[in-house]
Each structure stands twice: as structure tokens, then as C-alpha cells.
């Protein structure tokens, strides 16, 4: 499902214009991003939990040359599905 499909569904179900539904979608996504930046974790009941995970710096290899390179530390987002959703998908 794409953003446009979600916005169209919100518009139909809530009786909003597509512009208003698009703004609501953008606000929700922005708040999830803000929560990850500030708290490092966002839990949405029935869906799951987004959590920032830190990866340490490590050595790797350039596949083209075989030279050893340093891969810098980074932050990534992990998602853990809620049990309710997992159970629902596996019915």
C-alpha cells in the first residue's frame, strides 16, 4: 500500500478532503520520526515498535579491490511486529 492509497482510504473513511488526509498522514509520519529522534522508540498498539539501534564501527572489505576499509558507526531503525498483528497474519 502506498502513501496515496492510505491518503485515499483516510479521505473516504473520515470524510476528509484528500489534502486534509494527506496533511494528517504527514503529521503522523513526522511524529513517528520525532519520537525516534527524541526517545529512540515509538510503540504503536496493534502494529509494533520502531526502535533506534546503534551499529558499532567495524572493518569491512572493498569487494572491487579487496582493500580493508573502516565502516563508520551508524544508527538504524528496527521494527518489531506486535503479537496481535503477527497472530492475525498467521490465521
- The CATH number assigned to the domain holding 15 equals 4.10.520.10
pLDDT tens per residue across all 91 residues of the chain: 999 999 999 999 999 999 999 999 999 999 999 999 999 999 999 999 999 999 999 999 999 999 999 999 999 999 999 999 999 999 9
At residue 27, the pLDDT reads: 97
The number of distinct structural domains making up the chain is: 1
At residue 49, the pLDDT reads: 98
- According to DSSP, the β-strands at 58-61 and 48-55 are unpaired
Which long-range contacts link 43-48 to residues 24+ away (Cβ below 8 Å)?
44/82, 45/82, 46/82, 46/84, 46/85, 47/81, 47/82, 47/85, 48/79, 48/80, 48/81, 48/82, 48/85
Quote the domain boundaries for residue 32: 3-89
At residue 4, the pLDDT reads: 96
At residue 16, the pLDDT reads: 95
Amino acid at each position: 500500500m502506498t502513501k496515496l492509497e492510505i491518503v485515499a482510504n483516510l479521505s473516504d473513511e473520515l470524510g476528509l478532503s484528500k489534502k486534509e488526509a494527506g496533511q494528517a498522514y504527514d503529521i503522523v509520519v513526522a511524529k513517528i520520526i520525532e519520537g525516534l529522534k527524541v526517545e529512540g522508540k515509538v510503540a504503536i498498539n496493534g502494529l509494533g515498535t520502531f526502535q533506534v539501534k546503534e551499529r558499532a564501527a567495524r572493518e569491512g572489505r572493498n569487494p572491487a579491490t579487496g582493500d580493508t576499509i573502516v565502516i563508520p558507526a551508524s544508527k538504524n531503525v528496527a521494527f518489531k511486529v506486535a503479537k496481535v498483528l503477527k497472530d492475525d497474519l498467521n490465521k
